[in-house]
Amino acid sequence: MASTREQILDAAGRLIHLQGFHKTSVDDILRESGVGKGNLYYYFKSKDELGYAALERTLERIQGEVLERVFAQGVDPWTQLERFLNYPVERARKEGGVGGCPLGNLALEMSDIHEGFRARLSQAFERVQSKIEETLERARSEGTLRTGTDIPRLAHFVMAAFEGAFMLGKLHRNAELVGNVVDELKAHVAQYCVACDISCHASHGG
């Protein structure tokens, strides 16, 4: 059974994901979590403190449920990248395009107006990008990455297109649009693989 603190964080995370941080009130979180105000303020001294903790909990879930699964040890680096790129498509099809990326949503809302969130989100995206860079570095060490590839630049491009696919799917409530964007991204990434007919990576799931 979830602890009171976990109930609060789960409720805050769900509401912030769908409504945004500013539109989510403390009263909303209390209703969603079913806990009393005294309990909430026992664990969190302010709404900002609660928001930071909810963000960290979201990151822990992304780490455990997405990154550790996608970038599992012993898997070919190109298959790892393909699985990563399949994630927004799978999620959009499951949820009908609703919701989008919790990190991307918060970054769009808060980056220009709240330095605390901007800094934490910047670090969060860097964590994800570092996994992509590590995977590309492994491909280079195995001799399957095109010579001269600028790995940080390619990883930035992958992240930008990944988030863009999420955003368009949310905007248009269209999971297949997400799939189309990701297919184009896979085709671009495939140009950097020199070890195989990478068209197979662009057209099949990992």
For the segment 70-109, what is each residue's pLDDT rounded down to a tens digit? 999 899 999 999 999 999 999 999 998 888 999 999 999 9
For residues 82 and 138, state if they share a domain: yes
Model confidence at 192: pLDDT above 60:
yes
Backbone angles phi, psi at 193, to 5 degrees: -95, 130
Regarding whether 174 and 80 lie in a shared domain, the answer is yes
Domain assignment present for residue 63? The answer is no
**CA 61 from centre of chain:** 10
pTM above 0.85, yes or no: yes
If you write DSSP's letter for every residue of 144-156 in order, what string do you get?
A: -BPTT--HHHHHH
Looking at every residue in the chain, the average pLDDT score rounds to 92
Q: Are 54 and 1 in a shared domain? A: yes
Same structural domain for residues 111 and 136? yes
Provide mean pLDDT across the span 4-13: 95
65: in domain: no
* Residue 121: exposure state from Cβ atoms within 10 A (0-12, 13-18, ≥19): buried
- Tell me, yes or no, whether 42 and 142 share the same domain: no
Query: 105 and 136: one domain?
Result: yes
- Structural domain harbouring 191: 71-203
Structure letter (DSSP) for residue 171: H
Q: Please state the rounded mean pLDDT for residues 9-37.
A: 95
Classified as helix, coil or strand, 193 is strand
Q: What is the CATH number of the domain that holds 106?
A: 1.10.357.10
Rounded mean pLDDT, 30-48: 96
48: in domain: yes
Give backbone dihedrals phi and psi of 20, rounded to 5 degrees, phi first: 95, 160
Exposed/middle/buried for residue 67 (C-beta within 10 Å: 0-12, 13-18, 19+): middle
Residue 203 pLDDT greater than 70, yes or no: no
What mean pLDDT comes out for the span 29-43?
A: 96
Do 20 and 103 sit in the same domain of this protein? no
Q: Which of 27-36, 41-50, 86-95, 150-159 has the lowest mean pLDDT?
A: 86-95
pLDDT band at 202 (very low <50, low <70, confident <90, very high): very low
